[in-house]
Amino acid sequence: LKKDTISPMAVRRLPKYYRHLVKLQRKGVKHISSAELGVHTGVAASQIRQDLSCCGEFGCPGRGYNVKVLQSELAKILGMTNGYTAIVVGAGRIGKALLAHFPFKKYGITITAVYDVDQRVVGKTLFGIPVYHVDALAKRLEEQPVNLCILTVPAEAVYELTEVLSIGKVQGIWNYTNAELPVCDGGPIVENVHLFDSLFSLCCMVTDKAGKNIGNEE
Amino acid sequence: LKKDTISPMAVRRLPKYYRHLVKLQRKGVKHISSAELGVHTGVAASQIRQDLSCCGEFGCPGRGYNVKVLQSELAKILGMTNGYTAIVVGAGRIGKALLAHFPFKKYGITITAVYDVDQRVVGKTLFGIPVYHVDALAKRLEEQPVNLCILTVPAEAVYELTEVLSIGKVQGIWNYTNAELPVCDGGPIVENVHLFDSLFSLCCMVTDKAGKNIGNEE
DNA sequence: TAGATTGTTAATCGATTAACAATC
DNA sequence: TAGATTGTTAATCGATTAACAATC
C-alpha cells in the first residue's frame, strides 16, 4: 500500500535506516529483517515495517529486506538520485566547515556557488566553488535556478534573504540560523538545524533528570 | 499543575519560546499572551499554555505572561542557571566553529577543555581553552567531572569514547557524529544533531512535494 | 512442508486542539 | 463591572505498537 505522502515522523527516520544499510552493505550483509534493523537503530520492528511499506513493497516475507535493493530504494526516496543543486549562503566558519566536510557530492548534491558579503572572499573560490556577492543572488537564481540553499548567515540577514530565495524558486532551505524563516505557503520547505534549541533541549533533559534523582539512588 | 516530568515534545519547544522572549525583551515588550507568542513561533496558543503550565504557573489571567519573569523561569528550566561545565571532544572544523561562534558563556555554560588526537594542537590553546590529548580524557574526568560533552569526532571513534564518557559520569552528550552512541540505561543523555538526517529529511520532503505537483499547477 | 518474516489492519498510546470555568 | 486571558479538563487527532493472515 504505497501512500501518496510519507508521514512527517517517518521522513525523519528514513535517513537513519539509510545510514545503517550503508554500514550493512559495507559489512557484506545481504538480507536484514525489520527486527534486526530495529535492534541497531532503536526503532520498533513494526514501526520500521510500517515506515517502509508506505514507500512501496521492498521486503520479502520469510527472508526480510535485500540490503542492496532497500538502500537504493531509500536513496531514491531521499532524493539522492535527483542530481539536486545547492548553494551555500554565508561563508563563515559553519559554511566553510560544511563545504570542507559534508560529503554532498557522494549523495548526489552539487554545490554550484557560495554567496557572502565579505569583499575579501567574493570573487575567489572556496574548496573549488566560486564565491559571489549576496547582492548578485536574486539575479543569478533567475538565470540558474537551484534546488536547495544552505543558509549559514547571521540572524539579522534572514528576512531579506528568505524573500530572495522564495522568489528565486528555491525548493528547500537548510537553515543554520537561529531565526524562524518567514516563508509563506507554497514557498520553500525549511529544515531548521536550530543548534541553540538542540543544546538547550539537552540541558533541559539533564536538569530534569538530575532534579528527579534527588532523594533517589544518587 | 506542575508535573514532575516535562513531555519530550514540550522540551523541544521550550528553547524556541525562550529565544522569542529574548527578542521581545530587547524590544521592550512587558507582557505577551499565548495567542501572540503563538503567531510568532508558529505554535498553537493552547499548546503554549499547556507546555508552560507543566513547568509551573507563570501567567496572569487577563494580562498574559510577564516577559521578563517567563524568560528567567525558562532560563532556569533550560538549565542556564546551573553553571554547567562542558568539554569539546574533537578539535576539527566543526569543533572550532562551535568554540568560535556559539555563545556558551552567555547561556551559563563554561567550556573547560578541548580534546583531540592531533599532536599539532595538543598542549596549545584554542580560543583560550587548553587542548589535551584524548588519551588523558578518562583520568581528567575522574579528577574534574563535567556536565556536558560536545562530541565532534569522526564516527569511528565513538564506541570507545562513549564508554569513557559514560564511566566519567558525563550527564549529557551533544552528538555531532553521524553514528548512534551506544549508551546504556542510566548513562548520559544523548542529543543527536545528525546533520545527515536533517539534510535528507529536507531532500525527501522536497522530492515528495515535487512529485505530487506533477499534473497540478506547475 | 515448517519456519520466518512480511504488509496491513486493529488497538493503544500520547500529543494536540478545543472548550470553558476561574480570575486578573 | 466587562474584557481578556489564563490553567485545566475533555475531545480529537495522529503516531506507535501488537496481532495475524499472507507468503516466501
- How much is the mean pLDDT over chain B? 94
By Cβ distance, the residue of A14, A194, A205 closest to B189 is: A205
Q: With a cut of 80, say whether residue B70 has pLDDT above it.
A: yes
Q: Do residue A197 and residue B79 have CB atoms under 8 angstroms apart? A: no
- Report chain B's terminal Cα–Cα distance, integer Å: 50
Answer for B50: CB within 7 Å of strand C.
Answer: yes
State the maximum Cα–Cα separation within chain A, in Å, rounded to a whole number. Answer: 65
The stretches of A78-136 forming alpha helices (DSSP H) are 93-101
Give the side-chain half-sphere CA count within 13 A for A63.
9
- Report chain A's terminal Cα–Cα distance, integer Å: 50
> Looking at residues B121-145, what average pLDDT do you find?
98
Write the CB contacts of B8 (distance below 8 Å, at least 6 apart in sequence): none
Distance A218 CA to C12 C1' (A): 34
Q: What is the pLDDT of residues A129-156, one digit of tens each?
A: 999 999 999 999 999 999 999 999 999 9
Helical (H) or strand (E) element with A187: none
What pLDDT was estimated at residue B218? 34
Closest chain B CA to residue A82: B207
**Which residues share a beta bridge with A192?**
A175
Amino acid identity, residue A40? H
**Cell numbers describing residue B1:** 499543575
Q: Do residue B102 and residue A195 have CB atoms under 8 angstroms apart? A: yes
Q: What is the pTM of this model?
A: 0.95
pLDDT tier for residue B55 given thresholds of 50, 70 and 90: confident
Closest chain B CA to residue A5: B208
By Cβ distance, the residue of A42, A206, A212 closest to B189 is: A206
Smallest CA–CA distance, residue B172 to chain A, in Å, is 6
Q: With a cut of 60, say whether residue B216 has pLDDT above it.
A: no
By Cβ distance, the residue of B82, B174, B178 closest to A19 is: B178
Over pLDDT 70: what percentage of chain B? Answer: 96
Q: Which of B77, B84, B124, B78 is nearest to B104 (CA)?
A: B84
Q: What is the pLDDT of residues B185-200, one digit of tens each?
A: 899 999 999 999 999 9
Chain D positions under 7 Å from a protein CB? 3-9, 14-19, 22-24
- Distance, in Å, from the CA atom of B116 to the CA atom of B123, rounded to the nearest integer, reads 10
Q: With a cut of 60, say whether residue B29 has pLDDT above it.
A: yes
Smallest CA–CA distance, residue B17 to chain A, in Å, is 10
Over pLDDT 90: what percentage of chain B? Answer: 89
CA distances to A34, A130, A208 from A173, in Å: 32, 20, 33
What pLDDT was estimated at residue A216? 43
What pLDDT was estimated at residue A214? 59
Q: With a cut of 60, say whether residue B65 has pLDDT above it.
A: yes
CB-CB contact of A2 with A54 (8 Å): yes
- Distance, in Å, from the CA atom of B113 to the CA atom of B125, rounded to the nearest integer, reads 9
pLDDT tier for residue B54 given thresholds of 50, 70 and 90: confident
Residues with CB under 7 A from strand D: A 7-10, 43-44, 46-47, 49-50, 60-63; B 1, 33-35, 45-46, 49-50, 52-53, 57-65
Answer for A35: CB within 7 Å of strand C.
Answer: yes
Q: With a cut of 70, say whether residue B2 has pLDDT above it.
A: no
Closest chain B CA to residue A179: B19
Instruction: Name the residue closest to the C1' of C18 by its CA.
Output: B46
CB-CB contact of A148 with A174 (8 Å): yes
> Looking at residues B67-87, what average pLDDT do you find?
97
What pLDDT was estimated at residue B22? 97
Averaged pLDDT, groups of 10, chain A, 218 residues long: 83 98 96 97 97 89 96 97 98 95 97 98 98 98 98 96 98 96 94 98 95 55
Provide the residue count of chain A: 218
Contact list, A201 vs chain B (CB under 8 Å): 11-12, 14-15, 191
What is the distance of C-alpha A29 from the center of its chain? 26
Per DSSP, B193 falls in state: -
What pLDDT was estimated at residue A210? 86
What pLDDT was estimated at residue B214? 59
Q: Do residue B171 and residue A209 have CB atoms under 8 angstroms apart? A: yes
